Structure 1
Amino acid sequence: MTDRSKDAPERLYMHVARRLQQSIRLGHYPVNSRLPSEREIADAYGVSRPTIREATIVLELRGLVEMRHRAGVYVIATEPEEVESNLADNVGPFEVTEARRLFEGEAAALAAGTIEQAELTELEDLLSQMAEDELDQSIRERADRDFHLTLARATRNEAIVSVVQTLWDKRYSSPLCAYLFSLAKQIGIQPPVEDHRRILAALQARDPEGARQAMRAHLTRVTESLYRATEHDARERTRLKMDERRHVFARRAGVSEPAE
């Protein structure tokens, strides 16, 4: 069997995660110390802030750090917990979304000149499913995926269809993507219907530049929603820890807490 680690280049976020993990192990960042800000680490490593966010999630999954709401990222251990071995073999969620923004923005522009009425009708039907609050979330998510794949097929370019489908599949096959998108789902982030309406309107108007910009704006908001998901997760864990401390102090003081 081929050793993929020797053949394939290391993912950028995994490279950053490995270097940060090494710094933690060497004591540059002791337990209970705060890591530098995302911007500071990004500047030091010459990478984007989304790459640092992905690296931080890897360290968090390994049990080395913890994101704390409005406080930053703190070291909680110097040796990693055992995690899925295929974590390094998959792209991160911000990488996937950045690639989608590039490919799907151009696909939307191309589709604006080639899309047929039957496909516009199909997109309208899928948009109606995304907007239907009564439908199960999984159905709405599938409608979101089908919307983008239908648009890709409207380009009449099978290579584009294959790329778009592969990028969507990464959302489910990559452990890091699955983890972060599940966080987004937990806090109620839904397929952004208004974004898709703007994309559809540009396609209906046969406006390539409008379709390109609408798609790019949509995927920029997806990136923003992923940031919100990680920040909400940190905030919720901070709240739970405060509640736990409150209960401990109340027990020590012999105070009966009111029923919730």
Structure 2
Amino acid sequence: MDRAQDESPSPRLYRKVAARLIDEIRAGRHPVGARMPAERDLSLTMGVSRPVVREALLALEVMGVVEVRIGSGAYVLRLPEDEPRSPTEVTPMELVQARLIFEGEAASLAAANITDEELARLDSAVAAMRREDGSFEDWQAGLTDFHMTMAHATRNLAVERSVRDLWDMRSRSTECRRMLEEARSRNYRYSLQQHVEILAALKARDPVRARAAVRMHLEGSIEHVLMAIEERAVADARARVAEMRSRYFSR
């Protein structure tokens, strides 16, 4: 892997590093119980920045392949399975694009079939999301309940299961969680207002308005993901320059 690849803002770069580390563990270069090389050494060996290496080690830790010990480093816990499945398989961009396809139409279908009881539940979910003093988990629970209730209101089991599968992937992804936490801290009121608008469209039982409201919400999410990718690329570039500066002046 060369330095040119490291210039890419793609969030998939750390996965390439993780895949290479998995190959090395399988080949016996890093035996079970052994300490992995330091982040700095891996960064130099693989031609990527230390933040990219850190993301790769985090992915391996989530898979249960390594254990990262504060102040000590990463240690190999077990050999990777032949076909490892990582909770971070789906990127935030892939996920929000899929949600845009499914949930916009799900909202349209729900608007035509939703019951008063389900509308009351959506009201409760919005009230939970409205609590500024609530934890991220409280907000996440309200958000999940809102979208799962809307999916159930479609009266279409295939649609409901598809939406639920997307949300399961979302909840398992550490990358998605990190971006969601950032989104809540930056765009709390905007996100809340979007869900208020979705609820108003469902209360009006207006399929066109409901579809448009959900699409606007998810298109805003796509913009946030793009901004996060851009910020990460800038941060990685700054880290690389800082390392180069440190190596140069240390001479």
TM-score for the superposition, normalised by structure 1: 0.61
| 2:138 is the alignment partner of 1:181 | no
User: What residue is the counterpart of 1:94 in the other structure?
Assistant: 93
Q: Deviations over 1:60-103 (max 9, x none)?
A: 65589xxxxxxxxx9528xx977443239943332222221111
Change (3 A) 1:88 1:171: closer
Unmatched 5+ stretches in structure 1: 1-23, 25-29, 39-52, 65-73, 253-260
Say which SS state the counterpart of residue 225 (structure 1) adopts: helix
Per-residue CA shift, 1:172-211, capped at 9, x if unaligned? 33xxx32243144257356611211121111111110111
Secondary structure of the structure 1 residue equivalent to 2:219: helix
Q: Partner residue of 1:33?
A: 4
Instruction: Find the residue that maps to 1:135 and give its secondary structure.
Output: coil
Match status 1:153 vs 2:110: no
Per the alignment, residue 56 of structure 1 pairs with: 13
Distance 1:95 1:247, change over 3 A: closer
CA distance in 2, matches of 1:210, 1:116: 17
> Taking structure 1 as reference, are residues 87 and 246 closer, same or farther at Cα in structure 2, changes over 3 Å only?
same
RMSD over aligned Cα atoms? 3.6
Structure 2: 5+ residue runs without aligned partners?
A: 22-45, 64-83
The CA deviation at 1:244 is 7.3
Report the equivalent of 2:210.
211
Distance 1:93 1:57, change over 3 A: farther
Identical amino acids, percent of aligned pairs: 30
Q: Partners of 2:241 and 2:174 in 1: how far apart?
A: 28
Q: What's the CA shift for 1:59? A: 3.0
- Cα deviation digits, residues 2-55 of structure 1 (max 9, x gap): xxxxxxxxxxxxxxxxxxxxxx4xxxxx3x3356867xxxxxxxxxxxxxx453
Give the number of aligned pairs.
194
Q: Within 5 Å, give how 1:68-87 maps onto structure 2.
A: 75-76=47-48, 83=60, 84=63, 85-87=84-86
